[in-house]
Amino acid sequence: MRKHIVAGNWKMHKNNQETIALLEEIIEKKEANTTEIVVAPTFVNLLTAVENTKGKGITVAAQNMHQAEGGAFTGEISASMLTSIDVKTVILGHSERRAYFHETDALLANKVDTALKHNMRVIFCFGEELKDRQIDNHFKVIEYQLRDALFHLEKSDWSNIVLAYEPVWAIGTGETASPAQAQEMHKFIRTLIDKVYGHEVADNVSILYGGSVKPDNAKEIFSNPDVDGGLIGGAALKAEDFLAIVNAF
Ligand code: PEP
């Protein structure tokens, strides 16, 4: 059975003290729930987050990592650095990494391989730009992104892959894909995975939606049969909003 997951991508927000305060509030206010809660603070606060969430039912994830095992890559972080502090989930392929740091699907394929080699779970982000949707090219774009970054994987690798469909035009814009648009794309993705890897992989992979999910639209988006959770940006920075989204299932 696939899991419901709500992941908060904190991006370059929250210093060390603010990280502790936000986590304390999430821990204090969260209700018993079968939905997995993931938080992704910036690298420098990961260890603090791990220490402050121990035994509290919260998964700490990194927002990125380098594909190499180690070496002369100033400013970068490796998979083994993450796992050594108990961070075993990593977000890869976020549209901001693609747009501002020129990450391509070929590079992301390498990053995914490195993460899986270290037994990490990958939350893999992908999504079309507005111009693709305007010319009705969005299904093709999604198919190529998945093919180029993930379809070299073995069937068994998929137990460590979570997909996050994030239409770029809906990220941080207040513009959300309608529940029908989200379901249409999530169904397309699951059908594609089914064609390439078969029913078992397709049924078991969690597909999250990301793009301006807020407390007031989460329920409608999550009520779709192929939407298994959300990757949340802005609304993950306030405990109440984030938890309202978690509770929307
Ligand atoms: C994101 O950055 O992954 C995201 C979904 O952001 P927001 O929720 O702010 O649109």
Q: What is the pLDDT of residue 90?
A: 99
Tens-digit pLDDT profile for residues 109-123: 999 999 999 999 999
pLDDT tens figures, 106-164: 999 999 999 999 999 999 999 999 999 999 999 999 999 999 999 999 999 999 999 99
94 catalytic residue (yes or no) = yes
Residue 212 Cβ inside 6 Å of ligand 1? The answer reads yes
In whole angstroms, what separates CA 167 from the centre of its chain?
13
- E strands, 65-139, in order: 89-92, 121-126
pLDDT of residue 173: 87
Phi and psi torsions of 101, nearest 5°: -120, 15
pLDDT, tens only, 163-204: 999 999 999 888 888 999 999 999 999 999 999 999 999 999
Question: Ligand 1 centroid to 145 CA: how many Å?
Answer: 19
Phi-psi region of 18 (alpha: psi -120 to 50; beta: other; left: phi over 0): alpha
* Count helices and strands in the chain by DSSP H and E runs: 11, 8
Average pLDDT, the chain: 97
Nearest CA to ligand 1 atom 6: 233
Taking only the tens place, the pLDDT of each residue in 87-104 is: 999 999 999 999 999 999
3-state helix, strand, coil in the chain (%, to 5): 50, 15, 35
Q: For position 226, what pLDDT does the model report?
A: 98
Active-site entry in 94, 103, 128, 138: 94
- Which tokens in the block code for residue 116? 């899986």
Question: Distances from the Cα of 248 to the Cαs of 24, 214, 215, 218, 228, in angstroms?
Answer: 21, 10, 8, 6, 11
